[in-house]
Structure 1
């Protein structure tokens, strides 16, 4: 038929898969269904409805969401538009308003069947969005856009009198899931008392992972032995967080009886008390308590005079006794399980975890919405530690912690009996916690036994051995090839040459070990300015008149300052930085800044302040206008944002790459002073080393807040402790002595 030949499904599928690599099969089927429906509408009306064009209103936005190549998406949509135009030509209306005769009869019933089949494929046996190849797949479909599109389709079919034949996607009927709900859906309530004897090792072989059209891992293997603690390391943008998300949402085939919990972002705040939010994280215990309460209520009802059954009829004594016995057996089973999981000790365990992460006893009953983002991140971590999943996934857990909390977490994780996979740039933390290191690079995962220090020495030795093996084989190949070239056509040596050819063909192909890319950061040196440069004199500050955060602070810094400000979370470290740069005004005292002093400030929450729709170059141009694109790209290049990365949307960059963009913005300002609030968060180890070197070479002043011991030790020459509303110089020998002071060895 004319319409069917114009909309060749195989052609549509090939176009989508070749132009949008890795596109979800569900999206392919939806697009085919919408194009079929548009063609059917043209056939029935004789013209194309450009105001309600599915290509512009649905298909293009849908493809934009799953592809970063706008040019290819536009070309693809043009081809789809041409297909519909071809259909329109075959059903062109006459001048008198009647329809022209089609070249062939159209079977509308068959076409409707095709539309229904394509649309229903998302939830019928063909494709199940919840389970695909034994995996739970996080769909790429934008449900809001899908709702609008489905409403338009339903209206069209109703207009044609066939509304009853159309069934909307079940995605629309599902309630939107927040992150907790989604993790609960992919990680249902598991009776962990019944899975203790099962093998909980995770073995994933030969898997691939792509994100936004970029290959992350190729034919990779991941083996996690139950009870071991793995540190996952690799460069910024290599795809470490993407790997964790694929495991967490069971995109990879992890056995369903293995419980997984992924902590990557702060929890959503509500009126739930902090300790209650932690207790709720143990889904199995919560389910048992709900069942216990329901049974107790049912038994109370059975003790009432003349209780009724499900049909509303009075129950006999025999029925009441039988029901009570059934309820009693169920209650005994639940009580046994609650005893087995030590439910009565749950609140004290939750309290100990919250205390360790820095929460006071008064904080336990505060609603979660009253905590800042950093503290809610700690709550997310507390929930994960409390419910003790079989596989715990952590993404930079130390980023929001102060030094006492990091020390406590190190100690706690050493007693972790389940499997841990943690992404971290903190070498001290990995040395204390990790039993194994997994190095992600070159689309592969390399496994090493031991902590980070062991990995660092072993990796270099392994790389040297691989290089020697590669060079030896290349020499051997050259020797064989030379013999073959010399004697291949000599009658006396032809047999030997043929044998050498076979040897050469059987040699395994070795790849040259990847050269470590040298990461460099560079801040321009400022012109010198005469003292006094920057100081505080009896500065007092409070966000409300009744409560001061800082009182009588005196501090003096010159151009050669290298100051680290340490102290517990909430003591006022970030507030002090904001007073220094003039973002806050003191309620008492004076903050003096030299008239020509330029200060560049790196905020702890810099990622939230970036416009994710802009490119890195566009961001610098918007924030610091006046330079050429080449100058902006040069600034970005000085911080490792080179080539096409500078022209990508910021939303597609990793957390570490976003930090580098922010550092490039600091360099554009050519500051005399760098004021840095947790600058190592999100940076990989190579970038931290590069930042350390750049700060050492910088001729201006540096003031920083950080929990990274190695970074502080390398950069700073003096430390100031912010605590109890005061800021005082630390008289000890650096960060290690401060750590021993606040966390004595006998408490570790």
Structure 2
């Protein structure tokens, strides 16, 4: 530390470390100063902005420092081919800089000609930047579907003796979009991390980069990402899960072959010893228990995988992962495919997970139940918080304030360097100092402001003059069967008015989606009546709404096709009311995240100005903040709501009635969600949660 800087820190001991280092470098360049006023100009703005100094104190300090400086000769410095930069880019071939020679320094300096040359250079640079920006926009418009690209400073895989994972200084891009920059991923063995962040921030892309090892992981760490559903073939569900244990499968086959041949008894003994070591005999019962917990009855476990729908095959993939127990398990929205009973079972299973877990989820209850730590993907970097999601939410406000202070300090630091460059760019005596400052700026990473906690607000309300009093929809003694041997419902009586907030719960396969189709008139009851108020507009959110979109359109074009006649700005405003802001409204649907597509779907619902909202699993693909916004919007909606969901938070905020779809009928639960959850937990505590009915 220089003696001059010590005098500064005596007065301002709490000065930011980076700012202090910079000021120390400034004060060492004593030839930059011709007077105490120059010293005040050089350090004053930093002290005033970052240390709350007052100008009089700065002037006094500057006088003192000026007196202590070791001034050199006033003779002009002779430079040969020194470059004074008019811009941060160094490219003498494009005349973006002004060449100052020894002859020019000793002769008359033509300021007018220099300014003219600088103006010309600026114009050329501006033109080139405009062309580059236009090219980027063109590439962005042409983007259809590009792969994520991950890069890191140290990419050679090593060995992790502890099981911990540390990936330093890595970037992650998707197409032309920078998702993560110069971040660090630090996962301690045995911890369960919840990865949260805004829709489209890059959470799922990060999981894929880890799974593909585009980001370099220790070579001894096994990774499993539950993303692709199990392939449908003639393998039974139970065998497909056991098949993930490749060592067990190979050893059993070898044992059978050796037993049949009657040869190599020594090898057969080794094989049996290894089978005993890996506890091979217990694996079928463990696999069956996992499948039961995820909703597969004993009969379903013997069905072939090709007999299951995509959602059930995803459950099989999850079952494989839980049986395999990889060193790093990556789960992306695992509760999307589960009912509330299975979610409770999964939470219990993961609470005792022996290895490292990194999970993405919109389900606040799941994150609170499972996670020991939260990783927040924000402003293209990763921030770490101890505890569950509730703890994260309480503390991130203070973290954001600190991030904002750090950002402002760094911005001030850079701005003042730029002020110095701009002030002395034509001063030949300070050419070396200007060049030094430019190099400092060039080495600094791109500075992004911290993202404030997102506030998403939805609004579904119809105009007040069109609100309907009385019954909107009613079911009287409804029965439904797909065939004479497949009875789904009998004796259903259900009604809904503009004040109804009904949550329909029940196990997968109980008929919840079928019930909604009956309510909407998409299916006709085999007995009984479903009646609607003839003035009632119903807006329906389908569970697989993404499949209905034309992915070649933008969100604005999607709304225009749905309800033409408005300007692009009006469509943009409607989308903005559901969190589709900025360039999201003009990007093709096929490059939007699942959560962003869902927001477009909600915008369509709001655009319809409905009297009744019917929503089938609307939280899939959303982030936690958007689920909260949806819950509040449903609570404030001046119409009726019928909702199928397993999300406890959404139901508790938005609904005042809970109807259980079970045993071929639908019945109102006295006590609502808490009573239903308590019944499931009581069943779970007795072990019944993993013993579904046949």
The within-5 A match list for 1:552-563 is: 552-563=491-502
On the 8 A contact 2:167/2:186 being kept in 1, the answer is yes
Question: Residues 249 and 475 from structure 1, CA distance in 2 versus in 1: closer, same or farther, beyond 3 angstroms?
Answer: closer
Q: Say whether residues 1:739 and 2:673 are aligned partners.
A: no
Match of 1:234 in 2: 197
Name which of 504, 516, 536 aligns with 1:577.
516
Query: Which of 339, 363, 379 is matched with 1:442 structurally?
Result: 379
Report what 2:473 is aligned to.
534
Give the CA deviation at 1:343.
0.4
The aligned counterpart of 1:272 is: 235
Gaps of 5+ in 2: 1-137, 146-153, 424-436, 688-694
1:70 match: 142
Higher strand share: 2
Name the CA distance, whole Å, in 1 between partners of 2:511 and 2:392. 37
Task: Write the distance in 2 (CA, Å) between the matches of 1:72 and 1:615.
Answer: 12
Tell me how far 1:545 sits from its aligned partner: 2.2
Q: 1:67 to 1:331 in 2, by over 3 A?
A: farther
Give the aligned partner of residue 659 of structure 2: 720
CA distance in 1, matches of 2:400, 2:249: 50
Residue 617 of structure 1, aligned match among 556, 563, 583: 556
For 1:148, the equivalent position in structure 2 comes to none
* Residue 365 of structure 1, aligned match among 278, 299, 302: 302
1:331 pairs, out of 240, 259, 268, with 268
Deviations 1:477-531 (A, max 9, x none): 9999999999xxxxxxxxxxxxxx9xx99xx999754323322212242412243
Mapped pair 1:427 → 2:499: no
| Cα drift, residue 428 of structure 1 | 1.0
Instruction: Give the 3-state SS of the residue equivalent to 1:543 in structure 2.
Output: strand
Q: Would the alpha carbon gap of residues 284 and 558 (structure 1) be closer, same or farther in structure 2, given more than 3 Å must change? A: same
CA distance in 2, matches of 1:610, 1:69: 19
Query: Which whole-Å CA distance do the structure 2 matches of 1:692 and 1:585 have between them?
Result: 31
Question: 1:577: how far off?
Answer: 0.9
Which position in structure 2 is the counterpart of 1:211?
A: 174
Superposition deviation, residue 276 in structure 1: 0.7
* 8 Å CA contact 2:458, 2:578 repeated in 1: yes
What is residue 607 of structure 1 aligned with on the other side? 546
Aligned to 1:191: none
Q: 2:207·2:330 contact (CA, 8 Å) conserved in 1? A: yes
Tell me, in whole angstroms, the C-alpha distance in 2 between the residues paired with 1:517 and 1:404: 31
Does residue 639 of structure 1 match 2:602?
no
> Is 1:710 matched with 2:649?
yes
Does the Cα contact within 8 Å between 2:634 and 2:641 map onto a contact in 1? yes
1:568 aligned to which of 486, 492, 507: 507
TM-aligned CA deviation for residue 261 of structure 1:
0.8
From the superposition, tell whether residues 241 and 294 of structure 1 become closer, same or farther in structure 2 (CA, over 3 Å): same
5 Å matches for 1:504-543? 513-526=450-463, 527-543=466-482
Number of residues of Structure 1 aligned to a counterpart in Structure 2 = 527
CA contact (8 A) 2:456 2:626 kept: yes
TM-score by length of 2: 0.70
Q: Deviations over 1:67-95 (max 9, x none)?
A: 6543999xxxxxxxxxxxxxxxxxxxxxx
Could you say which residue in structure 2 is the equivalent of 1:402?
339
Which whole-Å CA distance do the structure 1 matches of 2:230 and 2:549 have between them? 21
Provide Cα deviations, 1:385-436, integer angstroms capped at 9, x if missing partner.
0111111100000111111111111110011101111001111111111111
How far is the alpha carbon of 1:245 from its aligned partner?
0.5
Q: Could you tell me which residue of structure 2 aligns to residue 455 of structure 1?
A: 392
User: 1:709–1:736: 8 Å Cα contact kept in structure 2?
Assistant: no
Among residues 671, 679, 682, which one is paired with 2:621 in the alignment? Answer: 682
Change (3 A) 1:409 1:253: same
Shift of 1:380: 1.2
Give a deviation string over 1:459-491, Cα, whole Å, max 9, x none. Answer: 2222234445666788999999999999xxxxx
Once residues 571 and 420 of structure 1 are traced to their aligned partners in structure 2, the CA distance between those partners, rounded to angstroms, is 31
| 2:321 counterpart of 1:384 | yes
Contact 2:244/2:324 (CA < 8 Å) preserved in 1? yes
* Alignment pair present for 1:697 and 2:636: yes
CA distance in structure 1 between the partners assigned to 2:347 and 2:293 by the alignment = 11
Determine the structure 2 residue equivalent to 1:39: none
Measured in 1, the distance between the counterparts of 2:412 and 2:225 equals 48
Task: Tell me how far 1:229 sits from its aligned partner.
Answer: 0.8
> Equivalences for 1:107-506 in 2 at 5 Å?
198-299=161-262, 324=263, 327-467=264-404
Deviation string 1:522-579 (CA, Å, 9 cap, x unpaired) is: 2242412243321000111111122211111001111121111111111111111111
After TM superposition, the runs of 4+ consecutive aligned structure 1 residues lying more than 6 A away are 471-486, 508-511
Distance 2:240 2:407 in 1: 55
Contact conserved, 2:505 with 2:660, CA < 8 A, in 1? yes
Instruction: Tell me how far apart the structure 2 counterparts of residues 477 and 608 of structure 1 sit (CA, whole Å).
Output: 48
User: Gaps (5+ residues) in structure 1?
Assistant: 1-65, 74-131, 136-194, 300-323, 487-500
1:202 to partner: Cα distance: 1.3
Q: Which of residues 565, 590, 598 in structure 2 aligns to 1:659?
A: 598
Q: Distance in 2 between matches of 1:455 and 1:72?
A: 36
Contact 1:67 1:212 in 2 (8 A): no
Q: In the superposition, relative to structure 1, how do residues 458 and 586 fare at CA in structure 2: closer, same or farther (>3 Å)? A: same
The superposition leaves residues 367-400 of structure 1 with CA deviations (integer Å, 9 ceiling, x where unpaired) of 1121222222211111110111111100000111
Provide the C-alpha distance between the structure 1 equivalents of 2:228 and 2:398, rounded to a whole number of angstroms. Answer: 37
Q: Which moved more, 1:475-484 or 1:638-647?
A: 475-484
- Is the partner of 1:289 in helix, strand or coil? helix
Distance between the aligned counterparts of 1:372 and 1:216, measured in 2? Answer: 33
Asked whether the equivalents of residues 454 and 625 of structure 2 are also in contact (C-alpha less than 8 Å), the reply is: no
Moved more, 521-530 or 667-676: 521-530
Change (3 A) 1:477 1:212: closer
- For 1:574 and 1:339, the matched residues in 2 are separated by 46
Compute the displacement of 1:592 (Å): 0.3
Post-superposition shift, 1:273? 0.7
Q: Deviations over 1:601-649 (max 9, x none)?
A: 1011112222222222232333444544343333222212223212212
In 2, the alpha carbon distance for the partners of 1:72 and 1:351 equals 42
Distance 1:481 1:398 in 2: 51
For residue 743 of structure 1, give the secondary structure of its aligned residue in structure 2: helix
TM score, norm. by length of structure 1: 0.65
Task: State whether residues 144 and 591 of structure 2, in contact with CA within 8 Å, keep that contact through their aligned partners in structure 1.
Answer: no
